[in-house]
Structure 1
Amino acid sequence: MSDVVLDLRGIEKTYNKGTPGAVSVLSGVDLRVKAGEVVAMVAPSGAGKSTLLHIAGLLDTADAGQVLLSGREMVGLGDAGRTTARRREVGFVYQFHHLLPEFTAAENIVLPQLANAVPRAAAEARAAELLASVGLTERAGHRPSQLSGGEQQRVAFCRALANEPALLLADEPTGNLDPATSDTVFGALMALVRDTGLSALIATHNMDLAARMDRVVRLDAGRIVQER
């Protein structure tokens, strides 16, 4: 198995292609994330970081280039194959938690596992384990509206890791939180990532948070132009 979990090669994306209003967003992005590596992606607003994350996570398609997950080429897969790969290999976290409001914290973590054919008992045990790891055991039976913003986002982290993905993709995961809560919640995310040993690509404007990751890349003018 490849030690590179995510391998993006020559990714290009243009919106409204072939029209006078065409906008080139990605112009040949090359990026690798190794097994167990946490990479921060910093970018100015509108630079295309969300588009790149959606392509990496098989939610969108590139106009050109290759997407490999754990050494497997994803571009040639049909819709069913992409859905299966996304469900098994990738976890997503967004700036807003997107929890289902009618379900409890635990149920929000159980549901994606049931969709992946995990038996209910095992799914409930996994949910309990994840909630305990972020200090939310006592909140398992609460609905999202009964949770604070930081608690909601910690549940969203747990949901993203429910199916034990190889890759976590996060788009400004603490962007909606105040600085103190952001720091606490990000610490919980990093602990989850480190404990599970998965790889992560995390888009953020917060350079203090970026500095806590293994590597920082910058997306600008449609390319990765700086890396340290």
Structure 2
Amino acid sequence: MSDPVLRLTGIEKVYNPGAPNEVHVLRGADLTLVRGEVVAMVAPSGAGKSTLLHIAGLLDKPDAGRVEIGGEDVGALPDRRRTAIRRGALGFVYQFHHLLPEFSALENITLPQLANGTPRRQAEERAMALLGSVGVAERAHHRPAALSGGEQQRVAFCRAMANSPRVLLADEPTGNLDPETSDRVFDALMRLVRDTGLSALIATHNLELAARMDRRVRLESGRLVAID
């Protein structure tokens, strides 16, 4: 088996510890993601999938457990180092696109690269290549409000891929779209992932989409369980 690009070991997360409304969301969740693998995480709303993705993406810290990216234990690193890893090694896609409304599609993909030190011309060339790969290159200079929902989400995928991450984390990336658009947008996402060879952990409640991924796990009682 390939070396893991992301490994979660014994992840626990408790909200309001010790209080009457204490919620134990994660109870020793384990996951190993290898290069090129696309894993579906299936869970109902409120089960903790967003919490797990935030911990995997270094947006939150677990109360216990270990987070490794590329074999490095990143849980105890200083915030500045965690931010650098998050910016360079991880890409995020959410149910809502969260594109910056005052910037064009091209600019939304260029800006993360500029923040990471990429020269503007190189950043714009990569942005155009990404937009072309998901079939919206002709919309490059349109602002988000001028794009359809499916186009907005495809631009969001490109933004997540802008800095060539090793791991893509997606939280219900097609959950805000109608079934037909969802299917087209998911195809675009999978092409991006397969063409770049990166790994992806995709949270979804859509079992048909989950069945098209390499492996499926279910978040159940705070732990991840393999689905046959």
TM-score (norm 1): 0.98
Match of 1:70 in 2: 70
SS at match of 1:36: coil
Match of 1:37 in 2: 37
Match of 1:167 in 2: 167
Match of 1:86 in 2: 86
SS at match of 1:101: coil
**Aligned partners of 1:217 and 1:225: how far apart in 2?**
5
Match of 1:7 in 2: 7
Q: Any unmatched runs of 5+ in structure 2? A: none
Residues 1-228 of structure 1: pairs in structure 2 closer than 5 A: 3-228=3-228
**Aligned partners of 1:148 and 1:123: how far apart in 2?**
24
Q: Note the alpha carbon deviations across 1:90-142, whole angstroms, 9 max, x for none.
A: 00000000000000000000000011011111100000100010111110000
**Aligned partners of 1:190 and 1:225: how far apart in 2?**
23
Q: Note the alpha carbon deviations across 1:161-200, whole angstroms, 9 max, x for none.
A: 0000000000000000000000000000000000000000
**Aligned partners of 2:143 and 2:225: how far apart in 1?**
43
**Aligned partners of 1:23 and 1:155: how far apart in 2?**
36
Identity %: 70
Instruction: Tell me the matched-pair count.
Output: 227
TM superposition shift of 1:19? 1.5
**Aligned partners of 2:51 and 2:207: how far apart in 1?**
21
* Counterpart contact for 1:44–1:220, Cα < 8 Å: no
TM superposition shift of 1:64? 0.2
SS at match of 1:47: coil
Q: Any unmatched runs of 5+ in structure 1? A: none
TM-score (norm 2): 0.98
SS at match of 2:32: strand
